[in-house]
Chain A
Amino acid sequence: MSNTSENPNPSSSSAKMTLKTSDNELFEVEEAVAMKFCTVKQYFEDEKDSDVAARGSTTVIPLPNVHSAVLTMLISYGKKLPQSNAVADNHEEEETKKKERKKYEQGLLKNLMPGELLDLISAANYLDFKEGLEFFNQALADHIQNKSVEYVRKFFGIKNDYEPHEEEKYREEYAWAFEGIECWLIGELKQFMAKTKTLDIAGTLLGIKPALIVASFSVRGLNSLDSNILKPEMIAPGENILAAWINAIGPTGLDSNT
């Protein structure tokens, strides 16, 4: 899926550059936006100096460390930044643009999974995209600010190299710093619930090994409404799954519930 960029401002430069991502997607980007990626700018300027004859054809700049999904987001952020070649706006227009940008930034962060932030930062660093790096670094700092130590370790993939008694010592000494922080599990739950999931019909999958066996106690036979459908209509792997039930007694009244 290649992304063709629109040309919203007729007065801006219509020169375009082509960027190729790690998954071989091609992106056509306006020069003004692409120049914000200093790595691209450097590459372009090096190319300019080297071969003047080949200037007629569009150079494809390879970005082997950047995935297309990440580049899409970086480009759309880059477009929202004040363009260096734009005509200077008066104070009011500047204020409106600032507000728009802030609104866009908030919307962007809302829909972003924290894991994606790391990809964006890594890519922005590789591309030397200063404004993007600044923004996403701040977003990540804001995200981890109130998180627990366990969350941070998991997030960055850091191994805890402290002995248990050493860590306990820190937690006691700085107990006040561990108060009022977001519990790790709640944080994960929040993220999970923020995204809605949809089920796609995958169809019949053949050749899966090992073949799953339906448990002996699960119901079999034909569906009473439509004999083309075999029971069980919906099934998931696993036995003895613990589900939630109220305190003293489960729904069936048996000692164990399945």
Chain B
Amino acid sequence: MMPYIPQELITEILARLPVKSLVRFLCVCKEWYALITDTDFIKLHLKSSIETNRDRTLILNEDEFSPPLRYFSAVQFSKDNQFRKTFEIYKPLQNWVISDYCDGLVCLHKGYEKLEVAIWNPLVRKYRKLPIEPIEEPSCFSSAIRFSHLAFGHDPRNDDYKVLRVTEFYMADSMEFEVKVYSMRSNSWKKIDEQWPNKEICCQKLLALNGDVYWLAADRVVQDLESILAFNLATETLRLYETPVPPDDDQFTCLDVLGGFLCYIVNDYLNSDVYLMKKNGVESSWTQIFKIKQHVVCRDFEYFRTLMFSTNGKKVLLEEHQECGHTNLIWYDIEKKRCYRVKNRSFPYVFMVATCIGSLLLLDGDNVIDPRQKKNKGKRKR
């Protein structure tokens, strides 16, 4: 006799499953379909994925100088911090580039101006193209050089996923900005009219964390003054933070996210210092968590990005970029001050990592059809 299992228990059990299993179980029965596609369940499942590091996949995004490939290399990460075999993920849109990622969703764009943007869930194989939003040039800036930046993040207050596009216009002495925000809930763009401070964006990417988008900005007037600007996706206002240490001329700084906190890295030829803002939004909580001596990592590394902590928090996974161009994934042991390179011959030569976690978001998007998949259709096994 089958014991009665109440629906809350079924929900509990299903929330512990990886994405592939849940997508398959959509066709068990209509009740399970409704359960799995329910927004509250999707949130619960995502939370559980983040906590248990389930389905954590690193997508190795090749840089724009490599010849375009049809597939991304990806590698999954098991609970005990071991890398599994690399596999291939079909690019939903050929010749598009990864700009940002959040909660299992990846933001892609095409073109220098980043007019065409799409959001993709690689583990569910669905994507959605955003409506194209033109860049409105400010008056008197018709011959300006312009550069667009994209960021993709979650706004917890409105439970919405948003894309921020900041376009800078440079003329000889002055600069202007155009700022637009896209909301997944409303599937529309909106222009932000707030007065933007006269500071250039001086880092490679904008970072979204906990409802804010952060970047490093350099003052146009006072050359060496570097600050961190944060744009809140809910209130749509800017806030300025000071960097933990004022950097010197010959130091190369970058901003990153590590373990859910904002991370500030100062590189020079001898050392790299890593600071973490232990309490989000509190400037005084900047703490130096470790310092890597260059010779420990390798002689000619140019810079690195922090990716994640290991499960016990004692090691940090770094994406190391060498001067010769080669990229490596390295585990750095904070206590022992030693590095362990992740050896994997199938990693591309140069790459940037986009991290995904098991998420059922965007199940209602367009399908990504892998041409190799079509060939296997004939040999379906039961």
Contact = CB atoms under 8 A, between A and B. Distances in A.
B13 A159 contact: no
A152 B28 contact: yes
A167 B27 contact: yes
Contact of B17 (A133, A145, A173): A145
Nearest to B30: A161
Contacts of A177: 20-21, 23-24
B21 A170 contact: no
A125 to B, nearest CB: 6
A144 B6 contact: no
A60 interface: no
Interface residues of A, number: 37
A149 B16 CA distance: 17
A149 B28 contact: yes
Contacts of A183: 381-382
Contact of A137 (B12, B27, B28): B12
Contacts of A167: 27
A162 B9 CA distance: 23
Which of B5, B10, B13, B367 has most chain A Cβ within 10 Å? B13
A121 B9 contact: yes
B29 A118 contact: no
Contact of A141 (B16, B26, B31): B16
A152 B29 CA distance: 10
B29 A158 contact: yes
Interface string A149-169: 100110011111110000100
A118 B13 CA distance: 11
Interface string A175-198: 111110101000000000000000
Nearest to A134: B12
A217 interface: no
A172 B381 CA distance: 13
* Secondary structure call for the A interface: helix
Contacts of B343: none
Contact of A162 (B12, B21, B30, B382): B30
Given A153-B28, A158-B28, A183-B382, A140 B20 contact: no
A145 B21 contact: yes
B5 A118 contact: yes
B29 A137 contact: no
Interface string A124-151: 0100000001000110110011101100
B27 A141 contact: no
B17 A162 contact: no
A181 B24 contact: yes
A249 B4 CA distance: 49
B18 A145 contact: yes
Interface of A: 118-119, 121-122, 125, 133, 137-138, 140-141, 144-146, 148-149, 152-153, 156-162, 167, 170-179, 181, 183
Closest 5 CB pairs of A and B: A141-B16, A122-B3, A170-B27, A177-B24, A177-B23
19 contacts: A118-B3, A118-B5, A121-B3, A133-B9, A133-B12, A137-B9, A141-B14, A141-B17, A144-B21, A149-B27, A157-B2, A158-B31, A158-B32, A159-B29, A172-B377, A173-B367, A176-B370, A177-B21, A183-B382
